[in-house]
């Protein structure tokens, strides 16, 4: 659909120059721009919904819940985080391969990163008075580190990556990690340290 908009913009420029005049070109450009804006918002909403599903799963481990008490005797894996990271990477690769207009990709990735990071920050803020379960902490660290790194590799600028919300998320997870390391005796190699890099133990 993005490519249809790109082609429409190119064709309208040619037609307006030949027949209708320049005054119609700006009107068509505005219509195309609004259509692109709507498409980006729709896609971002779908990406946010996927992360909401992940957060809903780990919400079952909230402090004080029966499920949290029961799961303290088990060692759940990182499948939820790894599945989400894989989804993000595959989606980025598909968009890169299919969409011809770099400007649209940049706008989509910027808004995707910002919206999902805001969601993480909101989820953590709602639990400001709760200590995270170690499983929640591991999942969130994995997602946050990979998200930051992957979007940076996709060309998202530092000014977009390093927002106040990202700092809020990073600081909260770092604090929770320090507490959990004392309480649990370690985090099995999962850490917020160097969150903009890919640690060998975190592949």
Residue 101's pLDDT is what? Answer: 83
Residue 203 has pLDDT above 90, yes or no: no
The pLDDT tens digits for 167-191 are: 999 999 999 999 988 876 667 778 8
Residue 186's pLDDT is what? Answer: 67
pLDDT higher at 100 or 143: 143
Average pLDDT over residues 148-175: 96
**Domain locations in the chain?**
2-202
Average pLDDT, the chain: 82
The pLDDT tens digits for 83-111 are: 999 999 999 999 999 888 888 899 999 99
Give the 3-state DSSP-derived string for the chain, with helices as H, strands as E and coil as C. CHHHHHHHHHHHHHHHHHHHCHHHHHHHHHHHHHHHHHHHHHHHHHHHHHHHHHHHHHHHHCCCCHHHHHHCCCCCCCHHHHHHHHHHHHHHHHHHHHCCCHHHHHHHHHHHHHHHHHHHHHHHHCCCCCCCCHHHHHHHHHHHHHHHHHHHHCCCCHHHHCCHHHHHHHHHHHHHHHHHHHHHCCCCCCCCCCCCCCCHHHC
Residue 60 has pLDDT above 60, yes or no: yes
């Amino acid at each position: 659909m993005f490519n249809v908009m790109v082609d429409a913009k190119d064709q309208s420029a040619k037609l307006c120059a030949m027949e209708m005049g320049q005054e119609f070109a700006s009107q068509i450009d505005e219509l195309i721009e609004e259509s692109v804006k709507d498409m980006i918002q729709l896609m971002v909403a779908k990406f946010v919904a996927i992360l909401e599903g992940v957060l809903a799963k780990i919400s079952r481990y909230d402090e004080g819940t029966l499920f949290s008490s029961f799961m303290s005797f088990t060692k759940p894996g990182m499948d939820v985080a790894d599945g989400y990271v894989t989804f993000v990477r595959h989606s980025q690769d598909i968009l890169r391969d299919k969409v011809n207009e770099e400007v649209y990709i940049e706008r989509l990735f910027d808004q995707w990163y910002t919206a999902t990071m805001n969601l993480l920050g909101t989820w953590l803020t709602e639990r400001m008075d709760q200590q995270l379960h170690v499983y929640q902490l591991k999942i969130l660290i994995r997602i946050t580190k990979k998200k930051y790194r992957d979007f940076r590799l996709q060309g998202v600028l530092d000014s977009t990556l390093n927002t106040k919300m990202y700092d809020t998320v990073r600081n909260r997870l770092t604090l929770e990690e320090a507490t959990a390391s004392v309480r649990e005796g370690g985090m099995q190699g999962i850490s917020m340290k160097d969150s903009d890099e890919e640690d060998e133990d975190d592949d």
